[in-house]
């Protein structure tokens, strides 16, 4: 007997078909000719619902419906053929409420087997694993390229501009103070502390202004 059940492909129908699929699984599991795997899947779901035997109450169906929609909302289909449907459902039903209703892993695996054959599930998981490996490798390459950059090139453009202006200003100010003596210090060997403070204030003015601006942005941002 075919292990999978033919699902409705319309996203809205699929999202509300959990109860119908579980009823079909129950009916197929009670067939004497069914496979052991189908019986095991029904047992897993039956025990999860509280050992409901062969009956599915309204409360059971509500639990199944919530878990089913949460399972679909994850967006990870058990087969390549169903991935577009899962993508559409993920976009519509992926909410905080759906995440709270996510069932145990063994229930989601049973749901997988209701929708896809073992071969389809294996092929899809292998493809998903390779895709994740590729994403991880790409992320690591980007990180390596970033770490290979020098300290200067890793800084933001505004920070590099501020550092350049501060250093250039300090060098020019030092040259002007030393050559043209605007502070009227006739001998730096006999200069007083305030003379040095004046010179340093002029030289490091852009650096101080930049630090004050950064502190203001941090405090008000």
| Cβ contact 121:112 at 8 Å | yes
SS3 10: coil
Length reported for the chain: 221
Q: What pLDDT score does 1 carry?
A: 37
Cα-based distances in Å from 196 to 178, 191, 201, 208:
12, 7, 8, 16
Gap between the Cα atoms of 159 and 185, Å rounded: 34
In this prediction, residue 161 carries a pLDDT of: 82
Q: What is the pTM of this model?
A: 0.58
Q: Are 67 and 106 in contact (CB under 8 A)?
A: no
In this prediction, residue 41 carries a pLDDT of 95
Pick 51 or 101 by higher pLDDT: 101
Token look-up 């309204």 returns: 58
Going by C-beta distance under 8 Å and a sequence separation of 6 or more, which residues neighbour residue 179?
none
Give 116-129 pLDDT, tens digit per residue.
Answer: 999 999 999 888 88
Sequence-distant (≥ 6) Cβ neighbours of residue 101 within 8 angstroms: 66, 67, 69, 70
175, 194, 198, 195: which is closest to 186 by C-alpha?
195
* Digit-coded pLDDT (tens) for 142-178: 666 665 556 666 677 887 888 888 888 888 877 787 7
Whether residue 216 has pLDDT greater than 70: yes
Residue 64 and residue 104 in contact, taking contact as beta carbons nearer than 8 Å: no
Between residues 77 and 53, the one the model is more confident about = 77
SS3 label, residue 137: helix
């Amino acid at each position: 007997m075919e292990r999978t059940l033919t699902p409705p492909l319309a996203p809205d129908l699929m999202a509300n078909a959990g109860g119908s699929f579980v009823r079909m699984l129950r009916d197929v599991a009670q067939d004497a000719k069914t496979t052991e795997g189908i019986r095991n899947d029904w047992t897993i779901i039956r025990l999860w619902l509280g050992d409901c035997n062969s009956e599915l109450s309204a409360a059971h169906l509500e639990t199944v419906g919530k878990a089913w929609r949460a399972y679909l909302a994850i967006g990870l289909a058990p087969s390549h053929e169903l991935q577009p449907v899962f993508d559409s459902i993920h976009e519509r039903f992926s909410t905080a409420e759906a995440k709270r209703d996510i069932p145990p892993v063994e229930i989601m695996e049973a749901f997988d087997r209701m929708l896809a054959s073992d071969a389809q599930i294996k092929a899809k998981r292998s493809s998903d694993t390779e895709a994740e490996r590729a994403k991880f490798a790409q992320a690591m390459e980007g990180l390596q390229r970033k770490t290979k950059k020098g300290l200067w090139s890793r800084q933001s453009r505004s920070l590099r501009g501020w550092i350049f202006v501060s250093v250039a200003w300090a060098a020019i100010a030092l040259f002007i103070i030393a050559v043209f003596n605007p502070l009227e210090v006739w001998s730096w060997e006999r200069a007083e502390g305030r003379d040095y403070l004046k010179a340093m204030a002029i030289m490091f003015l852009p650096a101080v202004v930049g630090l004050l601006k950064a502190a203001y942005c941090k405090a008000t941002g």
